[in-house]
Chains A and B, each alone.
Chain A
Amino acid sequence: MSAPAPVEAVFFDGHSARRHMLRVRPTDDGAGLALLAEGAEAEVVWPLSHVRRLPGEADRGMLTLTLHHDTGDETPRDPARLVLGDAQMIAWVLAYAPALDRRDLRRGTARRVVTRLAAAAAAFCVLFFVLLPRLALFLADRIPPETEVVLGQSVKQQIEWLLTVDGEQRALTCTGAEGAEALAIMRDRLTIGLDLPYPVDLVVFDHAMVNAFAAPGGHVVILRGLLDEAETPEEVAGVLAHELGHVAARDPLRAAMRSAGTAGLLSIVLGDFTGAALIAVMGEHVMNAAYSREAETAADGFAHDLLRTAQVDIAGLADFFDRLDRDGTGLPEYIATHPQTAGRADAARGEASDQGVTRPVLSGAEWMALRSICEG
């Protein structure tokens, strides 16, 4: 490309907003732009190697240039601006300026970024995994047991409502008198010598789901589906022992406090972009699931010890897990709230294998009564 003819260009010197008109031409050696101001004696040369284009301009008909110069600004650029409008001059500069769009990151930028990022990540991790959980536990322990019992009552009612939401609203608690007696026998057998801050309030809900849960304040609920699915009372006792583990550790309350503290933190990190909400919800679920698995494993361990002390056969618990495992949920472990069922079954079987003397937890009649607790 032959050197273009001199043209007029707009120039701002970066010290005042005054507009200057300059004559711009390529230098004789083709390695720079020579700028001549009106009434000036000599030309100022901008070496092409130092010429930079202002990024992101929307218009191809204009080319705004400046110089690379470490001024301590947000980017190392001279405050002066040269605006070219002539097509040939623009084409020539685009062709011959070697570093027009170079970013010119300052030395040590990478190090600065990494340090800040590491500091922020460390602060966040300390907050999320240490500070807030500790604070949550501290506060959870400050809640008086009576308050926790009241809270658990309303949680239980909410779950009752949730379970009947697609049918008719009704009270789910099963009231068969003999079944309730059998339930009390099982509960007392397991809780002898157990020092809990509140009494265990154990009921059966008339619902087909195979499940049991503990609400804050010692409220334990077994769903009828679990009674139907179990083949021996030792299986039910095993599940009950596991739930008692949650009660003893005040897990439901602690989990709620921990969630309350960390709720929304992930959405702060992800900030303001489309789709953030979805990623935040998934992310928080993954993070909380780890805590929940830890609590579940601890409850399993508590159950083993409790069953051993009460001389109830731990093999019942193992059988129950085995049957659950056959049905399967198919969720990968890292997003599941419970550890893999097969693992839990193996652990229980291991405990059962060296268990000493056991006595049946319910008589045949009591077991029949319990199974029909919801029919009364």
Chain B
Amino acid sequence: MIETGSFEKATYAGKGGPLFRLALATNLLTVLTLGIYRFWGKTRIRRFIWSATRFQGDAFEYTGTGLEKFLGFLVAMVFLAVYLGIVNLLLFFAGIRFVLEPTTEAELTMQSTVIFVSFLALLPWMFFAEYRSRRYKLARTRFRGIRFGMESQALGYVLRALGHTLLTTVTLGLLLPRQTFGLAKYMTDRSYYGDARFVQSGRWTALYGAMKHVFIGAVIVIAAIVMTFVMAGMNPSDPAGMTPWAILPVVFGYVWLLIGFVYYRVQSFAYLMSNTTLEGEVLFASNPSLKTILTKVIVGTILLVIAAAVVLLGYGLIVAGLFASLGEGAEDIGIVRLVIIAGLYLLLLAALSAGALALITHPVIAHIVATSSVANAEALSRVRQRAFDKGADADGFADALDIGGAI
């Protein structure tokens, strides 16, 4: 039986203003360098967030470098380009050869296979990238000078993830908790702080509680759609008149469903973290408040939309002005104006993305950190250092496949 001391909270010291300025600068540099700077930019943002996360007054450290990410990306890029190029070509060829007008039984099967494969071609790589990305982030995180780490068993993760995805799809989402728990456990059980091992305990069925709003939302949507058809059937003379009334419950159910998914993510994260232990002694707890998170997301989104509207208005005025300055008889817009319009558009995107990070993502991160706590932290002082992990691709696959996420 583990002795439970009291839980001590983590703290978050980062502010949205400085983060926005940092993200704006890195986004602009990224656009100006046609994307090359993004590795250094992401590194700086991670450093900001990591070093703002504190426990017992000591800050976390992100020790990854932009150069490492860049070199890792080059490796990933070549792998993926070869794979994707060949697969795309073969699928297109098979598509033309077999999909156009299948005449025999065999060709019909080929047709279904081709369509199926094209959806799945990148899926294994995305799971691979997910595992490698988490491993890289852990391997480059330090606390009190000691490295975190994760074992290099990405292949097992890919196979399990494919299996889980299949099961979840086949059961129309009913087995999603099993997938969430199974994959989280696989990764957590292979994670380390120094020489101390993390273990994920708990049962996947406990996550059904977190799914409840997803179920409710789904039921509302389905019921509303069924009602629409029933009422349209009862009112054959005026089916179109029912539409406004029918739309409302569907929208209502859909919004509930969306919030249900947020609820699921938050609650499952809290459950998973609260059932994680380190070397059998250190305990963790997570108590995020869904209300707080939703409020922060909604308020942040409203602020962002207002800011975006103002900026877009300015952009529209500039574009209109450029067109107005064309004068009579001009045949086409000219390359200079095109460059200005495209350039300003990219700047706009950069600013909005920085705004989204600072207004929406950042407050949620702050809240999650501030509601996380640790018990028996004295056991941490016995943890010993872990060897350096070279990390060949430095989450380059995640970058190439666009699954990196905000941080």
Chain A interface residues (CB < 8 Å from chain B): 10, 12-19, 54-59, 62, 64, 71-75, 77, 79-81, 83, 109, 112-113, 116-117, 119-120, 123-124, 127-128, 131-132, 135-136, 139, 142-143, 147, 150-151, 154, 256-257, 260-265, 267-276, 278-279, 328, 330, 332
Question: With an 8 A cutoff between CB atoms, is B331 at the interface?
Answer: yes
| Contact assessment for A275 and B31 in the assembled complex, using a CB-CB cutoff below 8 Å | yes
| Contact assessment for A120 and B74 in the assembled complex, using a CB-CB cutoff below 8 Å | yes
| Contact assessment for B93 and A16 in the assembled complex, using a CB-CB cutoff below 8 Å | no
| Contact assessment for B51 and A58 in the assembled complex, using a CB-CB cutoff below 8 Å | yes
| Contact assessment for B58 and A16 in the assembled complex, using a CB-CB cutoff below 8 Å | no
Q: Determine which of B38, B51, B331, B381 lies in contact with A18 in the assembled complex, contact meaning CB atoms within 8 Å.
A: B381
Chain A binding site: helix, strand, loop or mixed by DSSP? mixed
Look across to chain B and name the residue whose beta carbon is closest to the beta carbon of A265: B81
A240 to B295, CA, bound (A): 65
Question: With an 8 A cutoff between CB atoms, is B265 at the interface?
Answer: no
A-B CB proximity, top 9 nearest: A56-B47, A260-B92, A12-B145, A120-B74, A261-B89, A18-B381, A274-B353, A17-B383, A273-B38
Look across to chain B and name the residue whose beta carbon is closest to the beta carbon of A117: B74
| Contact assessment for B88 and A57 in the assembled complex, using a CB-CB cutoff below 8 Å | no
A123 contacts across to B, CB distance below 8 A: 78, 81-82
A355 to B134, CA, bound (A): 70
Chain B binding site: helix, strand, loop or mixed by DSSP? helix
Question: With an 8 A cutoff between CB atoms, is B388 at the interface?
Answer: yes
| Contact assessment for A278 and B96 in the assembled complex, using a CB-CB cutoff below 8 Å | no
Give min CB distance, B393 to chain A, whole Å. Answer: 12
B15 contacts across to A, CB distance below 8 A: 58
Listed A/B pairs (15) with beta-carbon separation below 8 Å: A10-B57, A16-B381, A17-B380, A17-B384, A19-B58, A54-B51, A57-B47, A57-B51, A74-B63, A79-B385, A83-B58, A135-B85, A260-B92, A265-B84, A271-B38
| Contact assessment for A116 and B74 in the assembled complex, using a CB-CB cutoff below 8 Å | yes
B18 contacts across to A, CB distance below 8 A: 58
A16 contacts across to B, CB distance below 8 A: 146, 194, 381-385
A73 to B89, CA, bound (A): 41
Within 8 A of A (CB), among B1-56: 13-15, 18, 27, 30-31, 34-35, 38, 41, 44, 47-48, 51-52
A361 to B289, CA, bound (A): 82
| Contact assessment for B194 and A17 in the assembled complex, using a CB-CB cutoff below 8 Å | yes
Contacts A17-B144, A75-B65, A257-B92 hold; do A268 and B59 have CB atoms under 8 A apart? no
Q: Determine which of A56, A79, A127, A330 lies in contact with B81 in the assembled complex, contact meaning CB atoms within 8 Å.
A: A127
Look across to chain A and name the residue whose beta carbon is closest to the beta carbon of B388: A73
A113 contacts across to B, CB distance below 8 A: 67, 70-71
A119 contacts across to B, CB distance below 8 A: 74
Within 8 A of A (CB), among B372-407: 380-385, 388, 398-404
Known: A10-B57, A17-B193, A58-B18. 19 other contacts (CB 8 A): A56-B44, A57-B59, A74-B388, A112-B71, A113-B71, A123-B81, A123-B82, A127-B78, A132-B85, A142-B97, A147-B97, A257-B89, A261-B85, A265-B81, A268-B400, A268-B401, A269-B77, A271-B73, A275-B346
Contacts A16-B382, A268-B80 hold; do A273 and B86 have CB atoms under 8 A apart? no
A151 to B65, CA, bound (A): 50
Give min CB distance, A82 to chain B, whole Å. Answer: 10
| Contact assessment for B143 and A279 in the assembled complex, using a CB-CB cutoff below 8 Å | no
Q: Determine which of A14, A135, A151 lies in contact with B100 in the assembled complex, contact meaning CB atoms within 8 Å.
A: A151
